[in-house]
Amino acid sequence: MKVIIQDGEFDPWKAVQEYQSENIADGKHGASVTFIGSMRDFNDGVDDLSKMYLDHYPGMTEKHIERVCEDALNKWDVLDAFVVHRVGNIAPNDAIVLVAVWSEHRAMAFDACRFIINDLKHRAPFWKREANEDGERWVEGNTVDEVADQHSDMAKRAS
């Protein structure tokens, strides 16, 4: 298990490929689920985002995410988890967060990956500050994603 908080660009596909080849035993995992969150150039009605700054709480952020990954590993019998999260200045289209999970079977990998990214969005101490031509603003809550999560949960119950 590894959690990296990083100031500066990273290639998420390369990062996960390297982590897997160095850390995941050959032939033991049947499933791997990866979530990558990237910076859109629009958000909540602002459609010309030019840059973003991501603040965090050094020390607590790492500690919090590590504990969440441990919880996921225990809860779903997952083999390993790997998280990279950017901080500092971020440009549109940059990868912000990578969550990768390996398990024997696919259901556990999906559940654990989604658990980690949801906790990370709701509880890990990061704060986004967006900038466009009109100036800068602290982002207040991941509103659209909340609605999407609820919608998805409802659809699942209805189907």
Q: What is the C-alpha separation between 94 and 5, in angstroms, rounded?
A: 15
Site for its own copies in 11-40 (CB under 8 A): 11, 13-14, 16-17, 20, 26-40
Q: Which is nearer to other proteins, 65 or 157 (CB)?
A: 65
Among 28, 36, 37, CA closest to 102:
28
Binding of its own copies at residue 46 (CB under 8 A)? no
Q: Which listed residue (6, 48, 59, 147) binds other proteins by CB under 8 A?
A: 59
The answer to whether residue 69 forms part of the interface with other proteins (CB under 8 A) is no
**Near other proteins by CB under 8 A: residue from 97, 101, 109, 113:** 97
Give the burial class of 125: count Cβ atoms within 10 A of its Cβ; 0-12 exposed, 13-18 middle, 19 or more buried.
Answer: middle
- The residue among 58 and 158 lying less far from other proteins, judged by its C-beta, is 58
**Cα separation of 138 and 159, whole Å?**
37
The entry of other proteins, its own copies, none that residue 139 binds, CB within 5 to 8 Å by partner kind? other proteins
**Contacts with its own copies in 130-159 (CB under 8 A)?**
144-145, 148-149, 151-152, 155-156
Dihedral sign for Cα atoms in the order 57, 131, 13, 103: positive
